[in-house]
Amino acid sequence: MGHLLSYLKKYKKETVIAPLFKMLEACFDLLVPLIVADIVDNGIGRGENGYILRRFALLVGMAILGLSCTVVAQYFSARAAIGTATGLRHNLLAKIGVLSFTELDTIGTSTLVTRMTSDVTQVQNGINLFLRLFLRSPFIVFGAMVMAFIIDAKIALIFVGVILVLFLIVFGMMAVTKPRYKRVQNALDAVTGEVRENLGGVRVIRAFGREEMQREEFCEANSRLYRAQMKVGRLASLLNPLTYLVINTAIILILWLGSARVEGGVLLSGDIIALINYVSQILVELVKLANTVITLGKASASISRIEEVLATESSIRFGTESADREGSEALRFENVSLRYHGAGDESLSNISFSVLRGETVGIIGGTGSGKSSLVHLIPRFYDATAGEVFLMGKPIRALSREAILSSVAIVDQRPRLFSGTIRENLLWGKETATDEELWQALEIAQAADFVREKPEGLNARVSAGGSNFSGGQRQRLTIARAVVSQADILILDDSMSALDFATDAALRRALRTLPSHMTVFIVSQRTGSIAYADRILVLEDGELVGNGKHDELLTSSPVYREIYESQFKKEGEA
In the chain, the percentage of residues whose pLDDT exceeds 90 is 15
Q: Considering only residues 159 and 352, tell me which one the structure prediction assigns the higher pLDDT.
A: 352
Distance of CA 33 to the CA centre of its chain: 48
Would the pTM of this model clear 0.75, i.e. be above it? no
pLDDT of residue 388: 92
The answer on pLDDT for 571 being more than 60 is: no
516: which DSSP letter?
T
11: which DSSP letter?
G
Mean predicted lDDT score pLDDT of the chain: 84
Average pLDDT over every residue of 199-221? 82
Query: Could you report the per-residue pLDDT of 115-172, keeping only the tens digit for each?
Result: 888 889 989 998 998 888 878 888 888 888 888 888 888 888 887 888 788 778 877 8
The answer on pLDDT for 277 being more than 80 is: yes
Q: Please tell me the number of Cα atoms within 13 Å of 359 on its side-chain side.
A: 18
CB proximity list for 318: less than 8 A, separation 6 or greater: 380, 397, 399, 400, 401, 404
pLDDT of residue 364: 92
pLDDT of residue 573: 42
Inter-residue contact 278 to 159 (CB < 8 Å)? yes
pLDDT of residue 323: 80
Q: How far apart are CA 121 and CA 116, in angstroms?
A: 8
CB proximity list for 176: less than 8 A, separation 6 or greater: 235
Which of 521, 475, 529 lies closest to 501 in space, CA to CA? 529
Could you count the other beta carbons within 10 Å of the beta carbon of residue 411?
A: 25
pLDDT of residue 77: 92
Average pLDDT over every residue of 561-568? 84
Tell me whether residue 97 is exposed, middle or buried, using C-beta atoms within 10 angstroms of its C-beta: 0 to 12, 13 to 18, 19 or more. Answer: exposed
Average pLDDT over every residue of 60-80? 91
Q: Looking at this protein, which amino acid is placed at residue 102?
A: T
Instruction: List the alpha helices (DSSP H) in 347-497.
Output: 371-376, 401-407, 422-426, 435-444, 448-452, 471-484
Lowest-confidence pick of 67-71, 286-290, 360-364: 286-290
Instruction: List the alpha helices (DSSP H) in 455-500.
Output: 471-484
Lowest-confidence pick of 11-20, 291-300, 372-381, 404-413: 291-300
Query: Could you report the per-residue pLDDT of 302-347, keeping only the tens digit for each?
Result: 888 888 888 888 888 888 888 877 778 889 999 999 988 877 788 8
pLDDT of residue 537: 93
Inter-residue contact 364 to 371 (CB < 8 Å)? yes
CB proximity list for 378: less than 8 A, separation 6 or greater: 331, 389, 391, 408, 410, 489, 491, 521
The answer on pLDDT for 477 being more than 60 is: yes
Query: Could you report the per-residue pLDDT of 220-235, keeping only the tens digit for each?
Result: 888 988 988 888 888 8
Query: Could you report the per-residue pLDDT of 514-530, keeping only the tens digit for each?
Result: 877 789 999 988 888 88
Q: How far apart are CA 72 and CA 93, in angstroms?
A: 32
Average pLDDT over every residue of 401-407? 88
Angle between the N-to-C axes of helices 211-236 and 153-200, in degrees from 0 to 180, rounded to the nearest 10: 170
